[in-house]
Amino acid sequence: MHVFIAGANGQIGQHLLREMAESDHEARALIRHPDQGPELQQLGATETVLGDLEQDCSEAMKGCDVVIFTAGSGPHTGPDKTIDVDQDGAVRLMDTARAMGIKRFIMVSSMRAEEPDKGPEKLRHYLWAKHNADEHLKASGLNYTIVRPGQLTNDEGTGKVLLREKLDAFGKIPRQDVARVLLAVLDSDTADNRVFDVVSGERPVSEALAEL
């Protein structure tokens, strides 16, 4: 499949490119600066395209079958940018995908996005942005998968996860394992039109996904 990756230069995005290099998929990496291109191609991007989620990205998405959204304004920006990128940027990309006939959209959301007001106060604007984007995706008519990781770490991945529609206990997960989950979702239809939480666990990623 031709996969459009928003957030390809990010930490999960770069792990995903490495994982995808071993797959049959073509990874088109959205970047904001031309100098990000060579390194991402080295990692595994089939091609890089310039664009900004705060603008129209339709030109950059031409010919793709699937979108993976793993972008985010990050912890150092204010709430305005969180709305602009995590919410409105995601929504714009979904609407563009649908208008272009791209049928599948895989979203990196966050645990607790289901009930933002139950999250820590300082994260509520972020959780609401994720929540609103997820709700838009669910109603979009796109074939969606919403992946809701717990707290991300830079530990080496174990390839083993706990994956459920709704987990009661918050947990952590290495970014590398989130990337593995995204690739497994891409290669399966088990998670079509599904939402799930994921943290580190005991089950190999593909088995955990098959048991969803």
Stretch that binds ligand NAP, among 41-49, 71-79, 117-125, 190-198 (CB under 6 A): 71-79
In the set 126, 128, 144, 196, the catalytic residue is 126
DSSP class per residue in 77-140: S-HHHHIIIIIIIHHHHHHHHHHHT--EEEEE--TT-SSGGGS-GGGHHHHHHHHHHHHHHHTS
Residue 160, classed as helix, strand or coil, is strand
Whole-angstrom Cα distance, residue 53 to residue 70? 12
Give 162 or 210: the residue with its C-beta nearer to ligand NAP. 162
Cβ proximity to ligand NAP, 32 vs 189, nearer residue: 32
Instruction: Please state the closest distance from residue 89 (CB atom) to ligand NAP, in A.
Output: 6
- Pick the closer one to ligand NAP by CB: 96 or 110: 110
Is position 126 annotated as part of the catalytic site?
A: yes
Q: Residues 127 to 186: which contact ligand NAP by CB under 6 A?
A: 149, 151-152, 175
Only segment of 42-50, 68-76, 133-141, 155-163 that touches ligand NAP (CB under 6 A): 68-76
Q: Can you tell me which of 49, 64, 106, 108 binds ligand NAP, judged by CB under 6 A? A: 108
Check: CB of residue 166 under 8 Å from CB of residue 212: no
Least spacing, CB of residue 211 vs ligand NAP, in Å? 22
For 15, 73, 92, 147, the CA distances from 193, given in Å and listed in that order, are 24, 25, 19, 11
Cα 187 to Cα 173: distance, rounded to the nearest angstrom: 21
Q: Looking at 27, 43, 53, 60, which residue binds ligand NAP (CB under 6 A)?
A: 53
CB of 9 to ligand NAP, least distance (A): 4
Least Å from the CB of residue 167 to ligand NAP? 13
Stretch that binds ligand NAP, among 18-26, 39-47, 72-80, 193-201 (CB under 6 A): 72-80
For residues 43 and 71, which CB has a smaller minimum distance to ligand NAP in the complex? 71
CB under 8 Å to 70, separation ≥6 — which residues? 5, 6, 7, 8, 10, 12, 13, 16, 108, 178, 182
CA–CA dist 45, 29 (Å, integer): 6
Round to whole Å and give the CA distance between 114 and 31.
29
> Which residues sit at the interface with ligand NAP, rule CB under 6 A?
7, 9-13, 30, 32, 52-54, 70-74, 85-86, 89, 108, 110, 149, 151-152, 175
- Active-site residues, by number, are 126
